[in-house]
Structure 1
Amino acid sequence: MSPHSRPSRAIRSGGSAWLLPALWDATSGTARSRALPSGPGFLRGHALAPLLAFLVLAVATMAGGGDLWLADHLYAWEGGDWALRGSWVTQQAIHLGGRNLSALMWLAVLAAWLVACLRAGWAPLRKPLGYLLLATAVATAAVSLLKGVTGMDCPWDLSRYGGDLPMVGLFSVRPAGLPEAACFPAGHASGGYAWMASYFFLRVAWPRLRFAGLALGLTMGLVFGVAQQLRGAHFLSHDVWTAAICWFVALGLYLMFWPRRSDAAEAVA
C-alpha cells in the first residue's frame, strides 16, 4: 500500500482528529510542540502597545473631558433625556439578549472542554479550552468586583443628565450621604470584551484565525458598550477600562498557561 493510500490518523482514531488541524499531527497522532513566544517582541505588541493605548484613552476620556463631551452630545441627540434607556433594541435585544448570548457561549465552551476531557481525539484542546473558560470568567469577575469598590455613578443618575447626584471622579473622595454606586467599570461590556481571550485561544489552536477571535471580542464589547452609553448607563471611559481589564487578564493567564521558554522562536507575531 502506498503512503498516499494509507488511512489518516484522524480516520483510524475515530474521526475526531480532523477537528484539530493545527494541533494534531496526523502522521504521529500526537500533539505538535508549538513555540508560543512571549519574548520582547511579543510583549511589545501584546502588553506595551495596549497599555499605551489604554493610558491615552483613559486620560482623554476622564481628565481630558471626553466622557462629558460624548455624553452631552448623546443626551442632547436623544432630546435632553435618555430616550433609549428603555428601548427594545438597547435594553431587551442588546442588554438582556447580549448577556444571555455571552452566557450561552461560555456554556458552549464548557461543553467542548468536557468533550475534550472525555475523548482522546480532542485531548490537544483541553488546555486551550480550559484557558478560554478561565480567562472569560476571571475577566468578568474582576470587572464585577471593581464595580463594587469604585463607587461611581451612572450618567443617568447625575444632575447634569436629569438625575439628582453630583459627579464624583474616580480618584475623588465620595461625599458622605450619597447612595452607594456601582457603575464603573462597565459590567455588561465585560461580557463582550472578555471574549478577546479568543485571540489567545486561537493563537494556540488555530493561529491563522487568531485575529478573528480578537475581532469577536472587540465587536461584542463595542456593541454592548455603545448600547449602554446610549441608555445613559455608562461613560466611554468605563468601557475603556473594561476593555483594558479584559485584555490584560487574558494576556496574564495566557502567559501563565504557556510560560516563556528561553528557546522560544517568535514564529507567531
Structure 2
Amino acid sequence: MLPAPTVAFSSERAATGTPRFLRDHLWAPLAVTLLVSATLMGAGGDQWLADNLYQLEGHRWTLQNAWFTTHLIHQAGKWASSAAALLAIVLCTHAWRSERAAAWRWPLLYLVLAVALGTGLVSLLKSLTNMDCPWDLARYGGTREFIGLLSPRPPGMPRGVCFPGGHSSAGFAWVSLYFFARMVRPAWRWRGLAAGLLAGGVFGLSQQLRGAHFLSHDLWTLATCWAVSLGLYLLVQRIRRGERSAAVVAAPGEAT
C-alpha cells in the first residue's frame, strides 16, 4: 500500500503558477545551459576536456572496453534504470486500479511518462542530428574530421549519431523525481533532483572516459530531460486543476 502524499494540491498549484517558479525552473536553467554550451561547443571546452582524458589514458581510449565502464556502468546501469521504470509502471498501474491509492495516480503517471518521453526524445534527437563521437575523430585515433553541430558535412561522410548522449538519458530522465516529489512530498524534491543528476552524471562521465561523448552531448541530454520533465509537470498540474474544479462544481449537485 502506498502512503498518503503529504502536500496539499492547492498550495502546490499556487507555487507552480508564479513567475518565480518559471524563473527558477525554466529561464535560469536555460540561461545556464546556453552559457555552458557556448563554452564547451563554441570556445573549445569539449576538445580541451577530451584532450586531457585522452592524454591521461595514454593517447588511446583505454577504458573504451573496460569492464567497469562497459559492463558495470553502461549495461548494468541501463538495466537498473529500466528496473526502476518498470517498478514505477507497476505502482502506477496499482494506483489507477485502487481507490485507496488514488492520490498517487497522476504523480506516478507523470513519473512514468517523464522518464519514457525524456529518453525517447533524446533517442529521436540522436537520429536527427549529425555529430560524431570523439572516438570517431582523427584527433582521437579515429578517421573523421570534426564537424560542428550546425556545419554541413562533406558528401559521402557517414552520419554521426552521438548528440545528445543516449546512455546518460537513462540517468538524467530521473530528474523528473524532483517534480514528482513536488506533487507528493516537497521536502524530498532536492533528493529526487540529486538522484537524477548523480545517475546521469555517472553514466555521462563513463561514456566520456570511453571516448563515446563530449561533455556538451551530456549537457544537452540533461537539458532535454529537464525540459520534458518541466513541460509534462505543468501539463499534469493543469489537468489535475481541471479535475479538482470539476469535482467542486459537481459536489453540490451530489449533495442534493
- Normalised to the residue count of structure 2, the TM-score between the two structures is 0.90
Correspondence for 1:20: 4
> Counting helix residues as a fraction of each chain, which structure ranks higher?
2
Correspondence for 1:200: 179
- Structure 1 residue 119 and structure 2 residue 98: aligned? yes
Q: CA deviation at 1:147?
A: 0.4
Q: CA deviation at 1:105?
A: 0.6
Correspondence for 2:132: 153
* CA contact 1:193–1:218 (8 Å) conserved in 2: yes
Correspondence for 1:35: 12
Q: CA deviation at 1:32?
A: 5.7
1:11-160 matches, within 5 Å, as: 16=1, 19-22=3-6, 33-36=10-13, 37-160=16-139
CA distance in 2, matches of 1:35, 1:79: 52
Q: CA deviation at 1:20?
A: 1.2
CA deviation digits over 1:197-255, x for unaligned, max 9? 00000100111101111001000000000000000000000011110000011001111
CA distance in 2, matches of 1:189, 1:42: 26
CA distance in 1, matches of 2:77, 2:31: 29
- Normalised to the residue count of structure 1, the TM-score between the two structures is 0.86
* CA contact 1:189–1:224 (8 Å) conserved in 2: yes
- Structure 1 residue 212 and structure 2 residue 175: aligned? no
Q: Unpaired runs of 5+ in structure 1?
A: 1-15, 24-30, 262-269
- One-letter amino acid of the structure 2 residue matched with residue 199 of structure 1: Y
CA distance in 1, matches of 2:51, 2:117: 33
Q: Which secondary structure does the structure 1 equivalent of 2:111 belong to? A: helix
CA deviation digits over 1:104-142, x for unaligned, max 9? 110000000011112221110000000011111111111
Work out which of the residue numbers 206, 214, 231 in structure 2 matches 1:235.
214
CA distance in 1, matches of 2:135, 2:149: 17
Q: Which secondary structure does the structure 1 equivalent of 2:168 belong to? A: helix
CA distance in 2, matches of 1:207, 1:32: 11
Q: CA deviation at 1:63?
A: 0.3
Q: Which secondary structure does the structure 1 equivalent of 2:158 belong to? A: coil
Q: Unpaired runs of 5+ in structure 2?
A: 242-256
Aligned length: 238
From the superposition, tell whether residues 122 and 73 of structure 1 become closer, same or farther in structure 2 (CA, over 3 Å): same
CA distance in 1, matches of 2:182, 2:217: 28
Identity of aligned residues (%): 49
Relative to structure 2, which stretch is displaced further, 114-123 or 169-178?
A: 114-123
CA RMSD of aligned residues (A): 1.4
From the superposition, tell whether residues 73 and 130 of structure 1 become closer, same or farther in structure 2 (CA, over 3 Å): same
- One-letter amino acid of the structure 1 residue matched with residue 120 of structure 2: A
Q: CA deviation at 1:174?
A: 1.1
* CA contact 1:85–1:231 (8 Å) conserved in 2: yes
